[in-house]
Amino acid sequence: MSEKIRVFAPATIANVACGFDIMGLALEKVGDQLTIQKTDDERLTIGSIIGAENIPTDPTKNVCSVAIQAMLDHIGSKQGFHIDISKNISPGSGLGSSASSSAGAVYGANMLLGKPFTKKELVQFAMEGEKAASEKAHADNVAPSLLGGFTVIRSYDPLDIFSVHYPEELIATVVFPAVEVKTADAKKILKPEVALSDAIAQWGNVSALTAGLITEDFGLIERSLQDVIVEPVRSILIPCYQEMKQAGMDAGALGGNISGSGPSVFALSKGKETAEKVGQAMSAVLAKNGIAYELFISKINPVGCEIIN
Residue-wise pLDDT for 89-116, tens only, equals: 888 899 999 999 999 999 999 999 999 9
pLDDT at 70: 98
CA separation for the pair 267, 245 (Å, rounded): 8
Domains of the chain, each with CATH number or no CATH: 4-165+302-308 (3.30.230.10), 170-299 (3.30.70.890)
Is 28 labeled as catalytic in the residue annotation? no
CA separation for the pair 113, 18 (Å, rounded): 38
CA separation for the pair 170, 270 (Å, rounded): 5
Sheet containing strand 170-177, edge to edge, reads 255-258, 265-270, 170-177, 293-299
Is 53 labeled as catalytic in the residue annotation? no
Q: CB within 8 A of 188, min separation 6: which ones?
A: none
Catalytic residue among 12, 151, 173, 183: 183
Catalytic residue among 128, 130, 222, 231: 130
DSSP letter (8 states) at residue 52 = -
Regions of the chain short of the pLDDT cut 50: 1
Backbone φ and ψ of 297, nearest 5°: -115, 125
pLDDT at 269: 98
11 CB-contact burial (10 Å; exposed 0-12 / middle 13-18 / buried 19+): buried
Query: If you count DSSP H runs as helices and E runs as strands, how many of each does the chain have, helices first?
Result: 10, 11
pLDDT at 47: 96
pLDDT at 1: 47
